[in-house]
Copies of this chain bind each other. A is one copy, B any other.
Amino acid sequence: MNREPRLVEVRKNVLKQNDVVARELRQRFREAGVYVVSLVSSPGAGKTTLLERTLTLLNRRYRVAALVGDLATENDAARLRRSGARVEQIVTGTVCHLEAAMIQRIIEGWELGALDFLFIENVGNLVCPASYDLGEDLRFVAVSVTEGEDKPLKYPTIFNSADVALVTKLDLAEAVGFDRAAADANIQAVRPGMPVVHLSARTDVGMDQFLELLERQLIETRTPSVVESAP
């Protein structure tokens, strides 16, 4: 137990180093005009299914690509490539989260200016990814109706690290007796004012709202602000 303070100190340095790389990434993304979206959730919350549907739908009108993190296997990348988008897998080994340096390494040499959206699917984990900035513009935390309404209360840090909450697998809400009011109240208790989108990538319920949110963000990012456009 006497090792703990030292571990915390070393961990702080790792996080500081991650923040430096994340800042560089964010700058690079901004200059290229690509809007970067990350997804965190527990394993099996439906990140890959949502991403597959999203890439398929967006690919008709936008230039999209995705990076997917997993401890092992390249299966998700293979699945996502069916959408027609460029997809790369990041295999983390035993590391329970993506880090900015992993993103930096994999997009080395990419022509980012040729992209509208870049999606980053984190390793399935409601704890570890919270502390690692990946340079993204927007972070979604997804929780499925099958996981129970209490998850925001039990994993408050990840909800606080994210910008928007997604409630996934809405098509199963009735089968599991999902209490939407309780889930929403728990999200708001942890993070007052947090936007929430309820959706199902299987039935497409809520997908419109999700895609509109993404498109609105892209347009806003690319619109020069009044200050910048003044002479």
List chain A positions with a Cβ less than 8 A from chain B: 1, 3-4, 6-7, 10-11, 13-14, 17, 42-45, 70-73, 75, 94, 96, 101, 123-128, 143-144, 146-148, 150-151, 153-157, 169, 172, 175-176
Give chain B residues whose Cβ lies under 8 Å from the Cβ of A154. Answer: 43, 70-73, 75, 124
Residues of B close to A101: CB separation below 8 A: 1
Closest to A48 in B: B148
Tell me the complex Cα distance, A102–B128, Å: 20
Contacts A124-B126, A169-B146 given; indicate if A153 touches B44 (C-beta within 8 A): no
Number of copies: 2
Contact of A73 among B1, B10, B150 (CB under 8 A): B150
Specify which of B13, B70, B125, B146 is in contact with A44 (CB 8 Å cutoff): B146
* 8 other A-B residue contacts (CB within 8 Å) besides A71-B156, A146-B169: A4-B14, A42-B126, A43-B126, A43-B155, A70-B154, A71-B157, A73-B154, A96-B96
